[in-house]
Amino acid sequence: MSRRIVAMIRARIREVLRDRSALAWNFLFAPLLVIGMATVFSGGPQTVAKVGVIGDLGAAPLLPATHPFLATPAVDFYPEVEGEKAIAKVQRQRIDLLFDLRVSPARYWVNGESAKGQLLQQLLLSSEPSARVQPVTGASIRYADWLVPGLLALNIMFSSLFAIGHVIVRYRKSGYLKRLNGTPLRAFEFISAQLIACLLLSIVITGGVYAGCSALLDLRMEGSYWTLLLVTALGSMTMIAMSLLVSARIASEELSGGLLNLISWPMLVLSGVFFSLDGAPALVQAAASLFPLTHMLEAARAVMLDGAGLVDIAQPLLVLSAMTALFLALGAGTFRWTQE
Amino acid sequence: MVPVLSVRELRKHYPKVKAVDGVSFDLEQGRCLGLLGPNGAGKSTTIEMLEGLVPPSSGEIRYRGRPLDADYRERVGMQFQHTALQDFLTVRENLEFFRALYRRGADIELLIEACNLQDYLDRDHRRLSGGQRQRMLLAIALINEPDLVFLDEPTTGLDPQARRNFWELVRTVKARGTTVVLTTHYMDEAYELSDDIAIMDHGRIIARGSPQSLLAEHFNDSVLELPATEVEGRELSSLPLIHKEDRVEIVSADVNGVVRQLLDAGLSLAQLKIRPRTLEDLFIQLTGKELRA
């Protein structure tokens, strides 16, 4: 790594570490949110039972006419397409029952340790007594265990987007970038240094926050910490690259703040940080798939809650890698040292 | 000998304004060129093009006979009118940071001593006084031992003592053989530091030469100044009086003759000031504008 990049990284890390108030906020934001959300939703996020339905249903809504069980009130029925993943959701009690309409008599998966599942089983058998049970077992996932990966990812998103985006815009507005442009430092060296410095800080801060949450809440961790580290690093890089793209040209902190909010708020709401996207409308799921936070979260939860390995999370990792490369290329290509 | 900087027909045109409109000059090694001009004359745009930060619309800039290339930034130093630095870094950390950006460079300890920064090394740069800050910025501009330094209004806002201290530093830099391009609003600063002066207006150089030669070329007279109250009610219609707020000026090549007429008119000369023409007079004569900092 060039001496110029190392110097830039060191200067940026010093700046962050000495800005005590901002640093403290980075460490406190996620734990405070975890404790708050876990307290409010300690009974679980779902107020109604949720049932996944496998079947050749096409794009049609799950009409009660398809099967009388689907007319059960206060139950959220949603289409499921992938059997293995759906069964895992029953095991983790992320859904209460899985119903397969492709065969006759119908079959269903229910977790013997789920009270809601047992109740739904009785309702199902009352409408189709011949339905065949496929029993599964598995402890439910506490909401806190499910929530923490989301909040850590959220923390990474906010710290990466705003730390990088705002800082570069501030550098440009103040004329610091213009001063750097008067030195042999090149744009790609500056961008690389910002990316690496932010990545290092993000990993250290996220690691600290994770350790704190884990000590407080005894978090579930089924997979490898190294795999989680890779997910964290790649997810952070994607967010940083996205922020570099947003801040590549503009010199107004107000505009950058608006743009970053425009990006972060839909991700916050639609990426499944607080509630599962299972059963969400197809349009929402399609929108969510465009957000890096969704893929980062999918991979992190798979590692932490299901013990997924690299092969299992290859798809979200590839999507994140492609997004990072795209954002970096566009960001570096459109970067400006000075205001217009 | 090949000039350090050679500029030919340099232009920078924006959609609604010709900021620089055909500037040409050569600058020899070890000389200090003072660029003077009223606000909007094109000084800063010119210096930014010379620094390689702003691409010209047309024209040519050559450094030691070669077009500006990537290596140029290794060889030049610059101090902007408003130089921003990274927050939370100390003076020493800023020097070390900028030193690391160049292949070759000055001995930081010698530079600290030369710019008299010893007492503030561990202070956050945002907590320096104006004079201390300008000395640190000059040290940063010299961190790569440049043979060409651009100083864009480096003493604006400094008190007279801090300005004089800064001039001493610039003289030391010049004494090492470093070539300097200086823009300033202060005529005394330009006179003290510049070997050559280029006066700009409307994006063009309208006069060029050493301060002494420019003054000699344009003036052969002196200025006599009297308090306005001393002149009131006196019969001085034969003298070309110029009324300026609380004083009256008489510009004449025949100082002795004017003094005799003033004595004949019964004026007290106790507060008479006689001064040679200055760059400010020249500037006003050429541009019709006052210089304001």
A66 and A146 assigned to the same domain: no
- The per-residue pLDDT for A45 is 46
CA distance B251 to chain A (A): 45
CA distance A10 to chain B (A): 9
Residue A221 lies inside a defined structural domain of this protein: yes
- The per-residue pLDDT for A1 is 67
Question: Which domain, by its residues, includes A262?
Answer: 3-40+142-334
Indicate the residue among A116, A136, A156 that finishes a domain. A136
Indicate the residue among A78, A103, A136 that finishes a domain. A136
C-alpha closest to that of B262 among B253, B247, B272: B272
d(Cα A100, Cα A199) in Å, to the nearest integer?
44
Contact call for A11 and B98, based on CB within 8 A: no
For chain B, the domains span: 5-216, 220-276
Contact call for B89 and A15, based on CB within 8 A: yes
Sheet strands (E) in B49-147: 58-63, 66-67, 76-79
Evaluate if residue B69 carries a pLDDT over 80.
yes
d(Cα B31, Cα B48) in Å, to the nearest integer?
19
A178 and A306 assigned to the same domain: yes
- The per-residue pLDDT for B146 is 93
- The per-residue pLDDT for B224 is 92
Between A249 and B9, name the one with better pLDDT. B9
- The per-residue pLDDT for A248 is 86
Go through chain B and tell me how many residues it has: 293
Q: Which residues of B touch A184 (CB under 8 A)?
A: 70, 73-74, 101-103
Residue A283 lies inside a defined structural domain of this protein: yes
pTM of the model: 0.76
Indicate the residue among A110, A136, A162 that finishes a domain. A136
Confidence of residue B50 (pLDDT cuts 50, 70, 90): very high
d(Cα B141, Cα B91) in Å, to the nearest integer?
13
Mean pLDDT of chain B: 89
Residue A183 lies inside a defined structural domain of this protein: yes
Q: Which residues of A touch B82 (CB under 8 A)?
A: 175
Nearest to A18 among B88, B98, B102 (CB): B88
Residue A105 lies inside a defined structural domain of this protein: yes
Contact call for B93 and A14, based on CB within 8 A: yes
CA distance B227 to chain A (A): 46
C-alpha closest to that of A296 among A194, A226, A228: A228
Q: What is the CATH number of domain B5-216?
A: 3.40.50.300
Evaluate if residue B293 carries a pLDDT over 50.
no
Q: What is the DSSP letter of A142?
A: P
d(Cα B183, Cα B198) in Å, to the nearest integer?
10
Nearest to B100 among A3, A12, A15 (CB): A3
d(Cα B57, Cα B23) in Å, to the nearest integer?
12
A319 and A264 assigned to the same domain: yes
Residue A261 lies inside a defined structural domain of this protein: yes
Q: State the best of B50, B85, B145 to mutate against chain A, taking most chain A CBs within 10 Å.
A: B85
Q: Which residues of B touch A4 (CB under 8 A)?
A: 100-101
- The per-residue pLDDT for A62 is 61
- The per-residue pLDDT for A39 is 66
Q: Which residues of A touch B76 (CB under 8 A)?
A: 182
Q: Which residues of B touch A8 (CB under 8 A)?
A: 97
Contact call for A4 and B100, based on CB within 8 A: yes
d(Cα A153, Cα A104) in Å, to the nearest integer?
43
Residue A202 lies inside a defined structural domain of this protein: yes
C-alpha closest to that of B44 among B183, B204, B205: B183
Kindly state whether A190 is in contact with chain B, defined as any CB-CB distance less than 8 angstroms.
Answer: no
Q: What is the CATH number of the domain that holds A56?
A: 3.40.190
Q: Per-residue pLDDT averaged across B61-74, rounded?
A: 92
Q: What is the CATH number of domain B220-276?
A: 3.30.70.980
Residue A340 lies inside a defined structural domain of this protein: no
Taken in order A32, A36, A37, A39, the sign of the CA dihedral is: positive
Our count of domains for chain A comes to 2
A15 and A91 assigned to the same domain: no
Residue A339 lies inside a defined structural domain of this protein: no
Cβ pair B176, B157 in contact under 8 A: no
d(Cα B137, Cα B150) in Å, to the nearest integer?
12
Cβ pair B202, B20 in contact under 8 A: no
Q: Per-residue pLDDT averaged across B226-246, rounded?
A: 83
C-alpha closest to that of B80 among B189, B192, B188, B181: B181
- The per-residue pLDDT for A46 is 47
A53 and A186 assigned to the same domain: no
d(Cα B168, Cα B46) in Å, to the nearest integer?
26
Nearest residue of B to residue A7, measured between CA atoms: B97
C-alpha closest to that of A102 among A52, A53, A55: A55
Kindly state whether B100 is in contact with chain A, defined as any CB-CB distance less than 8 angstroms.
Answer: yes
Cβ pair B228, B238 in contact under 8 A: no
- The per-residue pLDDT for A43 is 52
Nearest to A11 among B78, B89, B103 (CB): B89
C-alpha closest to that of A253 among A173, A145, A175: A173
pLDDT tens for chain A, residues 1 to 340: 688 999 999 999 998 888 877 777 777 776 677 677 666 555 544 457 888 888 766 555 566 667 888 888 888 888 887 677 788 888 877 788 998 888 888 889 998 888 888 889 888 888 888 889 888 877 777 777 888 888 888 888 888 888 788 888 889 988 899 999 999 998 889 988 999 998 998 888 888 888 888 887 788 888 899 999 999 999 999 999 999 888 888 878 888 888 888 888 888 888 888 777 776 777 888 888 889 999 999 999 899 888 888 999 999 999 999 999 999 889 888 888 887 6
Contact call for B70 and A176, based on CB within 8 A: no
Nearest residue of A to residue B137, measured between CA atoms: A179
d(Cα A318, Cα A304) in Å, to the nearest integer?
19
C-alpha closest to that of B211 among B180, B175, B187: B187
A184 and A200 assigned to the same domain: yes
Contact call for B83 and A179, based on CB within 8 A: yes
Sheet strands (E) in A107-186: 107-111, 132-136
Kindly state whether B86 is in contact with chain A, defined as any CB-CB distance less than 8 angstroms.
Answer: yes
Confidence of residue B136 (pLDDT cuts 50, 70, 90): very high
